Chain A
Amino acid sequence: MYPFAFTKASDTREALNAGRDGGRYIAGGTTLVDLMRETVERPETLVDITGLPLSEITVTERGGLRLGALVTMSEAAAHAKVRTLYPVVSEALELSASAQLRNMATIGGNIMQRTRCTYFRDVTADCNKREPGSGCAALHGVNRTHAILGTSDACVATHPSDAAVAFAALEARVHLLSPEGARQIPFAGFLLRPGSTPQHEQAVRRGELIAAVEIPALPRPLRSGYLKVRDRQSYEFALTSAAVALHVRGGVIREARVAAGGVGTVPWKLPAVEQHLVGERPSGTLWSAAAAMAADGARPLQHNRFKVELLKRTVERQLRIVGGTK
């Protein structure tokens, strides 16, 4: 690990000033400290932001939920409002990492976490994300766990977060702070596809600080849930996953929110699947017809072709679990 200066911000203004001067924010630190030890990350200054007042979970005026950036994953997952209003979020969080890591890691850090691509983590390997222009060792390497959607010739790494898949499905908004003021951006625009610049992963500007993730109100009743498919039963990243939320009234699906994880360079929203569901009556035939579109546009690599079929089956199963009927 390279040496770094350390400072703890006592209020938001102090944090933002330190961030503007090039300081790197640290909250739970579970990704950052790990990557610093691998020398993938080499910040010169760490700014501890855990003293800032960003640890609240509140119901918004319109009936959505606002998760403060410093709420830990375990706090968010256990929160009564999260569990009752958006089970898909609490399930995605509880299926992530381990109890220890969820006690440390925060909501803001979770959506800022970096890929688990082994070539990214190995400083001796070519990686355009870590070292722009060096090439992508994963493209023709051991790429069984890599992305099949949203990839480019420069990068095929997946985004590892489960919670981000739920946030993408629910069309959350990210609240950001900077010395210039506050702004918010839709989740779909927060995480960036690699294109030719895989080193740019989030639409945050230098020194900007995540204040909260806001989940918009959705019509009730809303049924939702998260399914994660992986190589072992627990404590593992997704090969595929599906976040599903459905509003059914009068026997007809009125609203559908569907996104997939483990398959995209960013959490993969599935608008075609959603559109196929809306206005229809729940049925086994409907679930399989909608899920058949889940992998449209997929570009599998040598070792991850299995993900195409696995993705469709994952989405179909989760539609059935959330929507009922066989």
Chain B
Amino acid sequence: MSTELPEPAAPPPTGAGESSPAPTRRTFIATSTALGGAVVAGGVIGGTFLADPEEATAAERPPSSRVSLTVNGTSHTVTVDNRTSLLDLLREHLGLTGSKKGCNAGACGACTVLVDGRRHNACLTLAVRLEGAGVTTIEGLADGDQLHPLQQAFIDQDAFQCGYCTPGQIVSGVGCIQEGHTGSPEEIREWMSGNICRCGCYVKIVRAVEQTADRK
């Protein structure tokens, strides 16, 4: 499957068998941002608001580039303002709002995705640099209705409260397990330290990663 942007991003699925016609908060926001992005950018995907009048002239035609990448197995070819981060590309233009924008500075890990199988901070990744790359987000972990074992483990262990950091925690945990740094709770804590949880669910997050690593 391949998509050529710009086009309205499809709203995320609301779950198999769910037939409610009423828009959820999530589908409403996703649809609004997709439309908004297309209108404001006029064909070029912009990821940055310009507030400084000094930038106004340059802003008329901000340098942009064309890039082809694969996200959760779907290939996309997009033309993006060079400033667009991978996180903004995912959230604002592909409708994949699972990856979260916490600090937008590489300090919290809420935006963690896998790029060619390795954990990266999507907020510090410029989308134009991802030519040919394969990106996996939280939306790409489950196999249909079958949750990824670590997603199930987060439920089993009750490893979240507000849930904002959870997508980043889970994707980071998948990377941590693949890297083989799950030998002890201490090792998991150290290798998961790039993901901050302000609710303080660390003990249960470590247990969820441990549970999944043990079953591999």
Q: A residues touching B (Cβ–Cβ < 8 Å)?
A: 1-6, 8, 26, 29-30, 33-34, 36-37, 46, 48, 50, 74, 97-101, 103-104, 233-235
Chain A residues with Cβ below 8 Å from B121 are 30, 100-101, 104
Given contacts A100-B119, A104-B120, A104-B124, 11 further A-B contacts (CB under 8 A): A6-B128, A8-B129, A29-B124, A30-B124, A97-B194, A98-B109, A99-B176, A99-B192, A100-B112, A101-B121, A234-B190
Min CB–CB distance A153 → chain B (angstroms): 30
Q: Which residues of A contact B191 (CB under 8 A)?
A: 99
Asked whether A34 lies within 8 Å of B63 as measured between CB atoms, the reply is no
Residue of B106, B189, B192 near A34 (CB, 8 A) is B106
> CB within 8 A of B55: which of A3, A26, A46?
A3
Q: Which of A5, A8, A26, A97 contacts B131 (CB 8 A)?
A: A8
13 contacts between A and B (CB under 8 A): A2-B58, A3-B63, A6-B128, A30-B121, A33-B125, A50-B129, A97-B194, A99-B194, A101-B124, A103-B119, A103-B120, A104-B125, A234-B189
With A29-B125, A103-B118 as contacts: A3 and B58 at CB distance below 8 Å: yes
Is there a chain A Cβ closer than 8 Å to B82's Cβ?
yes
Min CB gap A23→B, angstroms: 13
- Kindly state the separation between the CA atoms of A212 and B105 in the bound complex, as whole angstroms: 27
A107 and B81 alpha carbons, distance in the complex (Å): 28
B contact residues, range: 35 or more
Interface presence of B179 (CB below 8 A)? yes
- Which residues on the B side are within 8 Å of A37 (C-beta)? 104-105
- B125 partner residues in chain A, CB cutoff 8 A: 29, 33, 104
- Say whether A6 contacts B82, CB under 8 Å: yes
Q: B102 in the interface, Cβ–Cβ < 8 Å?
A: no
The smallest beta-carbon distance between B203 and chain A, in angstroms, is: 14
Say whether B58 contacts A33, CB under 8 Å: no
Residue B172 is within 8 A (CB to CB) of chain A in the complex: yes
B195 surroundings in chain A (CB, below 8 A): 98
Q: Does B41 contact A (CB under 8 A)?
A: no
Q: Establish whether residues A2 and B55, one from each chain, have CB atoms under 8 Å apart when the complex forms.
A: yes
Report how far A36 CA is from B83 CA in the complex, Å: 9
Please measure, in the bound complex, the distance between the C-alpha atom of A99 and the C-alpha atom of B83, giving whole angstroms.
24
* Max chain B C-beta neighbours (<10 A), residue from A4, A36, A74, A100: A100
Q: How far is the CA of A36 from the CA of B59 in the complex (A)?
A: 16
Contact between chains at B120 and A234 (CB < 8 Å): no
B63-98 Cβ-contact flags toward A at 8 Å (1 or 0): 101000000000000000111010000000000000
A98 neighbours in B (Cβ, 8 Å): 109, 193-195
Which residues from chain A contact B192 at a C-beta distance below 8 Å?
99
CB-nearest residue of chain A to B122: A100
Q: Which residue of A lies closest to B194 (CB)?
A: A98
Residue B126 CB within 8 A of the other chain:
yes
Q: Measured between C-beta atoms, what is the minimum distance from B4 to chain A in Å? A: 21
Q: Which chain A residue shows the least CB distance to B196?
A: A235
A65 CA to B194 CA in the complex, in Å?
29
- Chain B's closest residue to A121 (CB) is B105
Cα A101 to Cα B107 in complex, Å, equals 9
B175 interfacial by beta-carbon distance below 8 Å: yes
Complex interface: chain A residues within 8 A of B82 (CB):
3-6, 46
Q: Which residues of B contact A99 (CB under 8 A)?
A: 119, 172, 175-176, 179, 181, 191-194
Cα distance, A3 to B82, chains bound together (Å): 7
Which residues of B are found within 8 Å of A6, using beta-carbon distances? 63, 65, 82, 126, 128-129
Interface status of B62 (Cβ within 8 A of chain A): yes
